[in-house]
Protein backbone atom coordinates (compact mmCIF):
# COMPACT_ATOMS: atom_id res chain seq x y z
CA UNK A 1 0.00 0.00 0.00
CA UNK A 2 1.00 3.56 -0.62
CA UNK A 3 0.00 6.87 0.90
CA UNK A 4 -3.43 8.41 0.39
CA UNK A 5 -3.31 12.16 -0.17
CA UNK A 6 -5.85 14.92 -0.38
CA UNK A 7 -4.67 18.06 -2.13
CA UNK A 8 -6.45 21.34 -2.86
CA UNK A 9 -5.54 23.56 -5.81
CA UNK A 10 -6.69 27.21 -5.97
CA UNK A 11 -6.79 28.29 -9.61
CA UNK A 12 -4.92 31.47 -10.42
CA UNK A 13 -6.86 34.10 -12.39
CA UNK A 14 -7.46 32.62 -15.84
CA UNK A 15 -6.07 29.23 -14.76
CA UNK A 16 -9.26 27.27 -14.11
CA UNK A 17 -9.40 25.55 -17.51
CA UNK A 18 -5.73 24.55 -17.40
CA UNK A 19 -6.19 23.24 -13.86
CA UNK A 20 -9.18 21.15 -14.89
CA UNK A 21 -7.21 19.68 -17.80
CA UNK A 22 -4.30 18.84 -15.48
CA UNK A 23 -6.66 17.26 -12.96
CA UNK A 24 -7.99 14.90 -15.61
CA UNK A 25 -4.51 13.72 -16.64
CA UNK A 26 -2.58 13.98 -13.36
CA UNK A 27 -3.05 10.55 -11.82
CA UNK A 28 -3.06 8.63 -15.13
CA UNK A 29 0.33 10.21 -15.86
CA UNK A 30 1.60 9.26 -12.41
CA UNK A 31 0.32 5.71 -12.94
CA UNK A 32 2.12 5.46 -16.27
CA UNK A 33 5.33 6.30 -14.40
CA UNK A 34 4.60 3.70 -11.70
CA UNK A 35 4.08 6.42 -9.08
CA UNK A 36 0.35 6.08 -8.30
CA UNK A 37 -1.74 3.02 -7.53
CA UNK A 38 -4.84 1.86 -9.37
CA UNK A 39 -7.05 2.89 -6.46
CA UNK A 40 -9.88 5.05 -7.84
CA UNK A 41 -9.17 8.77 -7.83
CA UNK A 42 -11.67 11.36 -6.65
CA UNK A 43 -11.76 14.94 -7.87
CA UNK A 44 -14.17 17.66 -6.82
CA UNK A 45 -14.47 21.41 -6.48
CA UNK A 46 -15.71 23.64 -3.74
CA UNK A 47 -18.05 26.60 -4.06
CA UNK A 48 -15.08 28.92 -4.68
CA UNK A 49 -13.64 26.85 -7.55
CA UNK A 50 -10.87 25.17 -5.57
CA UNK A 51 -10.16 21.72 -7.00
CA UNK A 52 -9.70 18.91 -4.47
CA UNK A 53 -8.10 15.64 -5.50
CA UNK A 54 -7.81 12.36 -3.57
CA UNK A 55 -5.43 9.69 -4.80
CA UNK A 56 -2.92 7.09 -3.64
CA UNK A 57 0.80 7.32 -4.26
CA UNK A 58 2.55 3.98 -4.82
CA UNK A 59 4.76 2.89 -1.95
CA UNK A 60 7.87 5.08 -1.85
CA UNK A 61 6.71 7.11 -4.85
CA UNK A 62 6.49 10.50 -3.17
CA UNK A 63 10.26 10.63 -2.71
CA UNK A 64 10.89 9.31 -6.24
CA UNK A 65 8.52 11.88 -7.75
CA UNK A 66 10.67 14.75 -6.47
CA UNK A 67 13.51 13.57 -8.73
CA UNK A 68 11.54 12.55 -11.83
CA UNK A 69 11.81 15.03 -14.73
CA UNK A 70 8.30 14.26 -16.04
CA UNK A 71 6.78 14.92 -12.63
CA UNK A 72 8.81 18.09 -12.17
CA UNK A 73 7.51 19.34 -15.55
CA UNK A 74 3.94 18.50 -14.55
CA UNK A 75 4.36 20.35 -11.26
CA UNK A 76 5.64 23.38 -13.20
CA UNK A 77 2.38 23.26 -15.17
CA UNK A 78 0.46 23.26 -11.87
CA UNK A 79 2.52 26.20 -10.60
CA UNK A 80 1.59 28.15 -13.72
CA UNK A 81 -2.19 27.78 -13.20
CA UNK A 82 -2.78 27.32 -9.45
CA UNK A 83 -1.52 27.55 -5.91
CA UNK A 84 -1.74 24.80 -3.29
CA UNK A 85 -4.21 25.46 -0.48
CA UNK A 86 -4.25 23.79 2.94
CA UNK A 87 -7.52 21.93 3.46
CA UNK A 88 -8.14 23.82 6.71
CA UNK A 89 -8.47 27.03 4.68
CA UNK A 90 -11.44 25.74 2.67
CA UNK A 91 -14.74 27.12 4.01
CA UNK A 92 -16.18 23.60 3.86
CA UNK A 93 -13.56 22.34 6.31
CA UNK A 94 -15.59 23.77 9.19
CA UNK A 95 -18.79 21.99 8.08
CA UNK A 96 -19.73 18.75 9.77
CA UNK A 97 -20.47 17.28 6.33
CA UNK A 98 -18.26 19.08 3.82
CA UNK A 99 -19.96 19.09 0.42
CA UNK A 100 -18.25 19.41 -2.94
CA UNK A 101 -19.21 19.24 -6.62
CA UNK A 102 -17.79 16.12 -8.36
CA UNK A 103 -15.40 16.47 -11.30
CA UNK A 104 -15.65 13.72 -13.90
CA UNK A 105 -12.25 12.23 -14.64
**Per-residue pLDDT reduced to its tens digit, 60-93:** 999 999 999 999 999 999 999 999 999 999 999 9
pTM for the structure as a whole:
0.93
pLDDT exceeds cutoff 90 at 35: yes
pLDDT bracket for residue 1 (50, 70, 90): confident
pLDDT exceeds cutoff 90 at 57: yes
Give 104's contacts (C-beta < 8 A, 6+ positions apart).
none
> CA 100, 102, 103, 105 torsion: positive or negative?
positive
Instruction: Give the closest residue to 5 by CA, choosing from 83, 58, 81, 46.
Output: 58
Give 25's contacts (C-beta < 8 A, 6+ positions apart).
none
The enclosing H or E element of 74 equals: helix 69-81
Q: What percent of the chain has pLDDT over 90?
A: 98
Domain count, the chain: 1
Q: What residue numbers bound the domain in which 40 lies?
A: 3-102
CATH classification at residue 44: 3.30.70.100
Query: What is the structure's pLDDT at 44?
Result: 98
Average pLDDT over residues 6-34: 97
Amino acid sequence: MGDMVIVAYQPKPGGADALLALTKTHVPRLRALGLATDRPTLAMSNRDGVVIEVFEWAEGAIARAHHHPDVMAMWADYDACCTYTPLRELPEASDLFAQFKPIEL
